[in-house]
Amino acid sequence: MEISLERLAPCLLSLDIRVEKEKVDETINKALSQFRKLVQIPGFRKGKAPAILVRRYIGEERLKEEAGRILAEEYLKRAIEEKNIEIYSTQDIEIQKLEEGEDAVIKATLYTQPVVNLPPYDSIEVELKEVEVREEDVNTRLEMLRRRYAKTEPIKRKTVKRGDVVEIVMQVFIDGKPYKDETKDTVIVGDDDLVPPIDVYLEEMKVGEEKEIEVHYPPDFNNPELADKDAVIKVKVEAIKKLVLPELNDEFAKEASEFDTLEELKENIRRELEREAKKVAEEQLEREIMAALIARSQVEFPAPMLEEEAKERFRRFMETLERRGYDLDRYLAENNLTLEQLERRIEEEARDILIRRLILQEVGRKEGISVSEEEIEKRIEELAEANGVPKETMRRVLEETGRLNSVVGDLYLDKVFEFLKKSVKIKKKEDEI
């Protein structure tokens, strides 16, 4: 057997295999013997007809086809093992030559497994922000809590001023058509959290007055049906009230929390802010490590792997649309997209996800990282406690919903990133939240 290899593209090989004529003749005879056991020729019992009659009965084309199949199956496997090819899938197999008494030629095109070359870990340098929680941050969070326990009282004034609590009736219109029925809402004029900020248009309106407000919803708006859309909001002022905030004292701390004093409450808020800030800083650190790895790694993968990833992401995208009561045509029209543009966007997202996953898998493989049964059980216990259910119930839910694999995958990624954080160079930078 002679083997020649040609690299056609990343993770795509052309494999030419020449099989000696003796093996070719042997394989043709083997194929003929198989047919002899199967075919029924008039005048002979099955398996007893002379080989020459069986050969004439089935025909040369059919005989060569079966012999080629046997040759390809055997010698392609041997060639892959001999050349240590890590195969992902077979694109094509062609029997280019198969004649009795002559060498056979088999040509195969093979997709090979992804190849990831990682940079030295210590060549990566990232920054970890050490966040300091300021007193004003604590006070801001405390004020938010105070507003949550605030009460409202009617006022005699009939004109809206900044700081007022305003009860409104509103309705959103897209392209002149009502998006949904009228809804009642309560807004605080001057509240920076409103998106879009319709409260600024309420100032100086009177009780009973109506107004049309032109707005644009941001691209990342939490309702995808309104995201990045122009709209008109018709609003009517129903009532004006004032906000009455509770005093900041120990009594407020007891009402708003499990703490007995205001100082204990403030200290708890500080701890919460520190935990949140640390989590944000760690997530940012992981993103920076990942970005550096992607920039410095060499990643090759077979085309079908990307196609499969993109196909799966498109399937999930369609499921999401269906759950939201959308069809594809409506989504494309409202987002000014063609199907081809959507498919390209999903493919790019799939490419980014695939590269990230392959790099992290290679780090895990290279460093021998794995998740033990004890670690899985511990995570299930944590989830059970967080959800207030028995551990056995939590495991059953995870298994029935197919989420157990995700739990294991998250554990694996946590361990990979913990290794990376210990292996790359991390500079600390002080920052304030």
**CA angle, 95 then 96 then 97, to 5°:** 95
Residues 6+ apart with CB under 8 A from 10: 115, 300, 301, 302
Least confident of 109-118, 309-318, 329-338: 329-338
pLDDT confidence of residue 335:
84
Average pLDDT over residues 378-404: 91
The pLDDT value recorded for residue 322 is 87
Confidence of residue 225 (pLDDT cuts 50, 70, 90): confident
Residues 356-381, mean pLDDT to the nearest whole number: 94
Q: Where are the alpha helices (DSSP H) in 297-372?
A: 303-323, 328-334, 339-367
CB 11 within 8 A of CB 304: no
Cα dist. 416→115, 120, 287, 318, 428 in Å?
19, 15, 13, 32, 21
Tokens of 203: 């100032």
pLDDT level of residue 192 (50, 70, 90 thresholds) = low
Residues 6 or more apart whose CB falls under 8 angstroms from that of 430 comprise 129, 130, 132
Q: Is the pLDDT of residue 231 over 60?
A: yes
Q: How many CB atoms lie within 10 A of CB 3?
A: 16
99/376 Cα distance (integer angstroms): 58
CB of 213 closer than 8 Å to CB of 201: yes
β-pair partners for 210: 236
Please, what are the domains in the chain? 2-113 (3.30.70.1050), 151-244 (3.10.50.30), 274-432 (1.10.3120.10)
In this prediction, residue 401 carries a pLDDT of: 87
* Mean pLDDT of all residues in 128-146: 90
Output the average pLDDT for the chain.
Answer: 91
pLDDT on residue 43: 84
What is the C-alpha to C-alpha distance for residues 129 and 279, in angstroms, rounded to an integer? 11
Q: How far apart are the first and last CA of the chain?
A: 69
Each residue of 46-68: b (16+ CB within 10 Å) or e? Answer: eeebeeeebbeebeeeebbebbb
- Closest Cα partner for 7 from 365, 343, 302? 302
Task: Name the token pair of 343.
Answer: 């498919």
The mean per-residue pLDDT over the stretch 104-133 comes to 92
Q: State whether residue 257 is helix, strand or coil.
A: coil
**Residue 431 confidence (pLDDT):** 52
- At 318, the amino acid letter reads M
Distance (Å, rounded) from C-alpha 226 to C-alpha 228? 6
The whole-angstrom separation of Cα 141 and Cα 162 is 21
* Backbone phi and psi for residue 172, each to the nearest 5 degrees, phi listed first: -95, 135
Question: What is the mean pLDDT of the segment spanning 124-137?
Answer: 89
**Phi, psi angle pair for 334, to nearest 5°:** -70, -25
- What is the per-residue pLDDT across 51-106, written as a single tens digit (0 to 9) for each? 889 899 989 999 999 999 999 999 999 999 999 999 999 989 999 999 999 999 99
* C-alpha to C-alpha distance for 94 and 294, rounded to whole angstroms: 38
Mean pLDDT of 22-37: 92
> What does the pLDDT average to over 275-295?
93
Average pLDDT over residues 6-25: 93
CA distances from 186 to 194, 223, 238, 340 (A): 11, 19, 10, 43
Please name which of 208, 207, 209 lies closest in space to residue 155, comparing C-alpha atoms.
207
Residue 412 has pLDDT above 80, yes or no: yes
Contact yes or no for 160/191 (Cβ under 8 A): no
Tokens of 56: 């004439």
Q: Residue 164 in contact with residue 189, Cβ under 8 Å? A: yes
**At which residue do the structure tokens 């009642």 appear?**
184
Q: Report pLDDT for 430.
A: 58
